[in-house]
Amino acid sequence: MYVPSVTHPIGDFVREWVPKLSAYLPEQLQSQTLDTIVAFLVNAVICIVAVCAVNIGSAPILIYMERKVCAHVQCRLGPMRLGWHGTIQTIADVIKMLFKEVYAPSGADKLMFYLAPLIVLIAPFMVAALIPFDKNLVVSDVSMGIPLIIAVNGFGVLGILLGGWSSNNKYSLLGALRSGAQMISYEISFAMILLFVVMISGSTNLMTITQSQAGTIADWFIFKIPVLGFIGFILFFISSTAEMNRAPFDIAEAEQELTGGYHTEYNGTPFAMFYLAEYIALVTNSALATTCFLGGFHAPCIGVAAVDNYLTMVPGVVWFFAKVFFMIWCYMMVRWTFVRPRVDQLMDFEWKFLLPVNLLLLGAGAAYIVICG
């Protein structure tokens, strides 16, 4: 019987302690297989709780952050009255939404209608499990990390399509179809740019990708290959914004056109799930950008030993989240600055600009590796 093991310090700890505790059990129940299975299950529960906690815990923080960032861009204050500077505003929002009335419109396909938000939530959760937060802080360190992310990330669109279709509303349907077309197109660039990362790191394992960026700041992939790395980073930024359906690529929601797009008919908890999924996707995509381009959990060492010693004293997970929040801030600034392109322009942009540039980038990257690497 194959029982996978989870390798991280907590996992070792659990594996060490489960046999010790099982010694107290009656003798006929003791067996090594059982210990392994129990240890695995305990580990799995810990992992699931950890992923959920990171994701769901970060969503209210991000919503608060978004409201504050957009407020300050717009010369206003944002939430101020609940808690210190409105810090617990989103908690009130979440509680309120949980206790709202929930109903589906009369013509809706009820099963699909309620299933859709769950599907949307699954994708970012699964991606989060693959991200290495620190040297030994990764939930599942699979060797096929990048292909798995590409596969899973496209899963979210299914929920959006289902949600829009099952709502029995023309605006929802239009939003869902737009979203479908957009996601499928941008998936290609998204995959291409991850392929570029795989090419320069030589691995599809996210931990290996991070470890290959160890060293100074110049070793991060954004700087490691001059110019190309930066272009790659920008392209990743664009295509991941589109993947997340965030403004300026939020044509699926497009409040001014479609009053809310695919989630027009959703209310209460299902709507909260769409809302959360949007922000969790933001975390996972920022984490992916950090892992692939910004050196993951590595400190931004600059090559001067005196400074670097201090920098490396800070735990990697702190560096990781600092970079993630920087990325999120970038996404937010972009969201609150730009206007939304039209649906056909969005497609044009992907097929006529992003994809050719991506292909050129791949070629140039290959040439660089052959010549310099």
Partner 1 sequence: MSTLPPGFRIQRETNTEEFFINMGPQHPSTHGALRLALRMDGETIVELVPHFGYIHRGMEKQAESMSYLQYIALSDRQDYLTAIQNNLGVVIALEKGMNVGVPEKAEYIRVMLQELGRIASHLVFYGCFGGDLGGQTCLLFGFKEREMIHDILEEVTGSRLTTNFFRPGGSRYDVPDTFIPRVKAFLDHLEGAMRDYERFLSKNIIVLERSVGIGILSKEDAIAYGCSGPVLRASGVNFDVRRANPYSIYSQLDFDVPVFQNGDCYDRYKIRIAEIHESMKILRQCIDKFPKEGPWRSKEKPVRLPVGRYYSEIETAKGLYATYVVAATTGEKPYRIHTRGPSFPHIAALNKMVQGHKISDLVTIMATLDPVIPEIDR
Partner 2 sequence: MGIINYAPKILDPIPGGKYIVNLVDYVVNWARANSIWPLTYGTSCCAIEMMSSSMARYDIARFGSEVFRASPRQADLFILAGTITRRMAPAIQMLWEQIPGPKYAIAMGACTISGGPFIYDNYAVVRGAQNLIPVDVFVPGCPPRPEALFHGLLTLREKILKETCRHPWHVGRPKDVSTMDRYREAAKTWAALEEMKDEEMAEARAKFKEEHPDYKSAFKPIRIKKEEFPEVPREPKGAAGLTQSELFAKLRAEFPKVTVHTHSEDPIEDVVAAIPADCPLEVLVEPEDYLSMVKFLKENPDFDMDYLIDITAIDYDDHFDMVTMLRSIGKGHKLFLSVQLKKDFSISEEKRPTALLATIDSISSLYPGAEIKEREVYDMFGINFKGHPDQRRIFLDKDFVGYPLRKDFTHSEIIRRPV
Partner 3 sequence: MQENITLVQYFKRYLKRCITGPWSLICGLSVSLKYFLSPWKIVTEQYPENRKTLKMHERYRGRLEMVEDEEGNNRCTACGMCERACPNASINVLSTKNIAGKKVLGRYVYHFASCTQCGLCVEACPFGAIVMSPAFEVATTDPSSLEMILNKKEGQG
Site residues, partner 3 (CB under 8 A): 69, 72-77, 80, 333-334, 336-338, 352-353
The rounded distance, in Å, linking the Cα atoms of 212 and 147 is 18
**Cα three-residue angle 296-297-300, rounded to 5 degrees:** 90
| Rounded Cα gap, residues 8 and 206, in angstroms | 15
Of 247, 287, 292, 354, the one binding partner 1 (CB under 8 A) is 247
Q: Cα dist. 273→9, 98, 115, 192 in Å?
A: 32, 10, 11, 30
What Å distances lie between residue 323 and 19, 30, 144, 283, CA to CA?
39, 46, 24, 11
Site string for partner 2, 238-257 (x = CB under 8 A): -----------------x--
Q: How far is the CB of 338 from partner 3 (least distance, A)?
A: 6
What residues pair up with 137 in beta bridges, in sequence order? Answer: 134
**Residue 333's binding partner, choosing from partner 2, partner 3, partner 1, none, with beta-carbon cut-off 5 to 8 A by kind?**
partner 3
Question: Which residues, other chains included, contact 179 with Cβ-Cβ below 8 Å and sequence gap of 6+?
Answer: 157, 160, 161, 164, 245, 251, 252, 261, 262
* Cβ nearer to partner 3, comparing 115 with 234: 234
Stretch that binds partner 1, among 71-79, 80-88, 94-102, 142-150 (CB under 8 A): 71-79
Output 265 or 350, the one with its CB closest to partner 2. 265
Identify the CA nearest to 203 among candidates 248, 253, 141.
141
Nearer to partner 1, 127 or 244 (CB): 244
Q: Does 269 help bind partner 2 (rule: CB under 8 A)?
A: no
Residue 251 binds: one of partner 3, partner 1, partner 2, none (C-beta under 5 to 8 A by kind): partner 1
The answer to the question of residue 335 lying near partner 2 (CB under 8 A) is no
Q: What's the rounded Cα separation, in Å, for the pair 358 and 125?
A: 27
Closest CA to 209 of 284, 309, 141: 141
350 is a site residue for partner 1 (CB under 8 A) = no
Q: Which is nearer to partner 1, 68 or 178 (CB)?
A: 178
Least distance CB 260 / partner 2 (angstroms): 4
Question: Considering only 53-61, 66-74, 96-104, 289-297, which stretch makes contact with partner 1 by CB under 8 A?
Answer: 66-74
Residue 151 and residue 158 in contact, taking contact as beta carbons nearer than 8 Å: no
For residue 111, what are its two tokens? 């099963």
Footprint of partner 1 (CB under 8 A): 70, 73-76, 170-171, 174, 178, 247-248, 250-251, 254-259, 336-345
Footprint of partner 2 (CB under 8 A): 67, 71, 74-82, 86, 89, 91-96, 99-103, 255, 259-260, 263-268, 271
